Amino acid sequence: MEARNLADFPRPVHHRIPNFKGASCAAEHFPRLPAFKVARTIKVNPDAPQKNARFFVLDSKKTLLVPTPRLRTGLFNRITPPPGATKDILRKCATSQGVRNYSVPVGLDARVLVDLVVVGSVAVSEKGWRIGKGEGYADLEYAMMVSMGAVSQGTPVVTIVHDCQVIDIPEALLEDHDLTVDYILTPTRVIATGCERPKPTGIVWSKISREMMEKIPILRSLHYREKQAGKRVTLQGDQHPGEGRSQHTAARSAVRRAWGPPEPESCSLQVQDVPSSTVYVGNLPQATRVSELKSALRERGAAPLRLTWRGPQHGACLHYQDPASARRALSCLQGLHLGANTLSVVLARQQRVSDPVSSLAGKPHPDHDPTI
């Protein structure tokens, strides 16, 4: 989008829901949707390309809900324009500044029912598969609304993107907690995806870390409520031994029992029929430092649990929690540049690296840090 000058303010559009030229035009399809016409309460994400969609909700005298940034102060706010607001004032209410100035928080006990959901996307497929900016907030917002009883499987989900953002996305990249979309609006098309993949049925607590709980107070409230209701609410990292292990983890354990103690850790030591949780990054510039790679990974939203530096091979192994996380990182890191080099990024089981990590013993990189 940047290279073809399709991007609009704020720029550059990297690492955000990209605004694009023609966003207002794409949003003009929104009030024509039958789902819009019958909706009374509509939740729209706060990103720039959906500004016109927020205006149409207010101009149609429907209730507009906008998520709070990074969910730090709650789930969403209700936009309340001043009495007798003109269209110009409504347009101001639809901006990020207007959301701050003309809104009231909606609490967990508000018993709000959301009839239509609008989310931002970095890319989306005609089948309804969606990729966000990698932080998972749209998926989490939807899951939280499910937990509150605000949405159901029948609640339509819309995204507004540029035509170039509509691409083929492998279904293998999707996980159960990923949100799909029912309608895609572009400057030239309205795409009804007919997506039959079930939407999230609630918060997957095993993917919620203690750190996230600290940052998002409303998550703590929902966690307490679901725990009181007797639901399974074990957080990430809190499982008892053997609890919550994925099939590929169990498979690896079986392999180790069969073959004895593991060899020194290496990207090439993968069992071919067990999904890989490791991504290999190659073609690093010769002078690359670990800190530079770490920074690039964070910017792409693909920071691993652990990083193994392979400087002599101009590469690194990125170790993720599970194969799904590795596949998501693989997607995020495609086309990554460091200096003049385009990095090669593959799942480790697709990459053969001959020398074991142990060969680097006693020769640490000056910037080596095994964690990220």
Residues 179 and 309 grouped into a single domain: no
CA 10 to each of CA 19, 62, 304: distance values in angstroms, whole numbers, following the listed order: 7, 28, 28
> What's the rounded Cα separation, in Å, for the pair 299 and 223?
29
| pLDDT band at residue 127 using 50, 70 and 90 as cut-offs | very high
In the numeric block, which tokens belong to residue 260?
Answer: 């004895």
Mean pLDDT rounded to a whole number for the chain: 80
> 290 in a domain, yes or no?
yes
Tell me the residue type at 283. Answer: N
Cβ atoms of 52 and 59 closer than 8 Å? no
Residues 182 and 295 grouped into a single domain: no
Residues 52 and 145 grouped into a single domain: yes
Residues 30 and 167 grouped into a single domain: yes
> 56 in a domain, yes or no?
yes
Number of domains the chain is built from = 2
> Cis peptide leading into 241, omega within 30 of 0?
no
Residues 187 and 307 grouped into a single domain: no
- pLDDT, residue 108, reads 75
In the numeric block, which tokens belong to residue 36?
Answer: 């819009």
- pLDDT, residue 239, reads 58
> What's the rounded Cα separation, in Å, for the pair 194 and 200?
17
- pLDDT, residue 148, reads 84
Residues 275 and 185 grouped into a single domain: no
Cβ atoms of 40 and 63 closer than 8 Å? yes
pTM equals 0.62
Residues 29 and 159 grouped into a single domain: yes
CA 72 to each of CA 69, 150, 158, 203, 218: distance values in angstroms, whole numbers, following the listed order: 6, 19, 24, 17, 8
> What's the rounded Cα separation, in Å, for the pair 245 and 253?
10
> 211 in a domain, yes or no?
no
Q: Among residues 135, 165, 192, which one ends one of the domains? A: 192
Indicate if the pLDDT at residue 103 is higher than 90.
no
Q: Which residues form the domain of 297? A: 267-360
Indicate if the pLDDT at residue 281 is higher than 50.
yes
- pLDDT, residue 368, reads 37
What are 75-89's pLDDT values in tens digits? 788 999 999 999 999
Q: Among residues 163, 192, 221, which one ends one of the domains? A: 192
| pLDDT band at residue 90 using 50, 70 and 90 as cut-offs | very high
Range list of H helices, 47-179? 51-59, 87-93, 96-101, 137-148
> 133 in a domain, yes or no?
yes
What are 211-257's pLDDT values in tens digits? 888 888 888 888 888 888 888 888 887 755 444 444 334 433 333 33
> What's the rounded Cα separation, in Å, for the pair 346 and 305?
17
Residues 149 and 294 grouped into a single domain: no
> 283 in a domain, yes or no?
yes
Q: What is the mean pLDDT of residues 312-321?
A: 85
Indicate if the pLDDT at residue 361 is higher than 60.
no
Tell me the residue type at 122. Answer: V
> What's the rounded Cα separation, in Å, for the pair 203 and 220?
12
Residues 183 and 277 grouped into a single domain: no
| CATH number, domain containing residue 171 | 3.40.50.10420
DSSP for 144-199, written as a single string: HHHHHTS--TTS-EEEE--GGGB----GGG--TT----SEEE-SS-EEE----SPP
Cβ atoms of 124 and 292 closer than 8 Å? no
Indicate if the pLDDT at residue 358 is higher than 60.
no
- pLDDT, residue 72, reads 63
> 198 in a domain, yes or no?
no
> 243 in a domain, yes or no?
no
What are 7-33's pLDDT values in tens digits? 888 878 887 889 999 999 999 999 999
Residue linked to tokens 């609410």: 233
- Percentage of residues in the chain having pLDDT higher than 90: 30
